Amino acid sequence: MALLAPPRPHARSARRGPRVLAEAYDPRRNAFDVVRLVLAGTVAVTHAMELALGWQPRIGRTDVSALAVDGFFVLSGFLITASWLRLGSLPRFAWHRALRILPGFWACLLLTALVVAPLVAVLGGGSARDVLQGPDSAATYVLHNAGLFMAQFEVTGLPASAPDRVLNGSLWTLFYEALCYAAVAGLGAVGLLRSRPVLVVAAVAVLQLLTAAQEATGAALLPGENLPRLLLLFALGAAAQLLAERVPVTPAALVVAGVTLLGGLLLLEDYRAVGAPGLALLLLAVAARLPWRPRLRRDLSYGTYVWHWPVALLVLSTPLAGAPFPVVLAVVLAATALAALASWHLVEAPALRLKDARPSPRGDAVAPSGAERAAPRWTGCDDRGR
């Protein structure tokens, strides 16, 4: 199945507005960058509230941060599936995904353990050596988590006055993101994404029905908690990409999506039982149809996501912790933006420049050919997105 081409509505359809996602979505001009940055900022604000105040806002029984993470996985499912369809190569797909997620993750992991943790210890009246030794030291934090799965969240030696012993409470989702990438690669490698997209959609429907049945009965029908939840949201985005010519974005469809989402949030323990498709449709429609569609030259969403927690932890270890929360939040967001800028310019962007390099017969990296550089490309969301 080919990537969605830029829509070419005739005069009548332009007047009445897009009726399906394929008409609304232009791969070269959309608001996915903006929406992802808003979601990352939402996670940063709510986690800062949790660290500083001990609570974060909820809608019904759902944390706002969890809702924003779900939104990330919807957009990733849509864009990462498009990336596979564009690349069509398992090695290239794996290389692109590794370059996007691992360098920024490793840099954050290393600097958090070797810089942030010692600073928090010193600011709390302890010694930097306190976090660098022991069974759960900063060194083991890096070694245990380097494979992307967060096996160690805390570091011993942090003072009791520290806002939280968890060095970074956001990185755990990246492992599940990688599992979703692997699922796309597996389905793509056997040809199901192109030749049998309906089977993929059927699998999404089964997962949605199991989620609904689990909510209704209280029985544990799905293994674990995080993987089924995040896989469902990612799969909804992937299904929307595969069947974009049939996904309605009419006002009536969006109203139904909003009602089911709000109903799930207000009435259910797990809103996803009925509200996950509504969230997916609303987010994709907004990202596709938002009138403001800037092409962000710097993608700060990933850096914001991975850095906001250790930045907040560091800020709240200083005397600023006693300031009114709006002041604390402003400092946390400003410092997070600087960290995200540094992550983009020093780690992420240099890594992404390698994504189209290919080995020469001698094993050296070769830059893309002129034809490859001139080939039409997406806005960059598929290769820059989380």
The pLDDT tens digits for 275-313 are 999 999 999 999 998 887 777 788 999 999 999 999 999
Question: Which pTM value belongs to this model?
Answer: 0.87
Domain ranges, residue 339: 11-384
- At 16, the pLDDT band (50, 70, 90 cuts) reads low
Residue 3 lies in a domain: no
Task: Work out the angle between the directed axes of helices 325-343 and 301-315 (0-180°, nearest 10).
Answer: 130
For residue 327, what are its two tokens?
């002041």
Across the strands, what pairs with 365? 359
Residue in this structure with the two tokens 């469809």, named with its chain if needed: 253
* Predicted confidence (pLDDT) per residue in 198-243, tens digit: 888 888 899 889 888 888 888 777 777 888 899 999 999 999 999 9
Residue 318 lies in a domain: yes
What is the DSSP secondary-structure string of 180-214? HHHHHHHHHHTTHHHH-HHHHHHHHHHHHHHHHHH
CA atoms within 13 A on the CB side of 311: 24
Residue 342 lies in a domain: yes
Residue 2 lies in a domain: no
- Residue 236, helix vs strand vs coil: helix
CA distance 217 to 363: 57
Residue in this structure with the two tokens 């020469």, named with its chain if needed: 360
CA distance 384 to 295: 12
- At 358, the pLDDT band (50, 70, 90 cuts) reads low
Residue 235 lies in a domain: yes
Number of domains in the chain: 1
Residue 6 lies in a domain: no
For residue 304, what are its two tokens?
């914001």
* Predicted confidence (pLDDT) per residue in 246-279, tens digit: 999 999 999 999 999 999 999 999 999 999 999 9
Residue in this structure with the two tokens 């990296």, named with its chain if needed: 365
Residue 4 lies in a domain: no
CA distance 312 to 45: 10
CB distance 55 to 65 below 8 Å: no
* Predicted confidence (pLDDT) per residue in 85-110, tens digit: 999 899 999 999 999 999 999 999 99
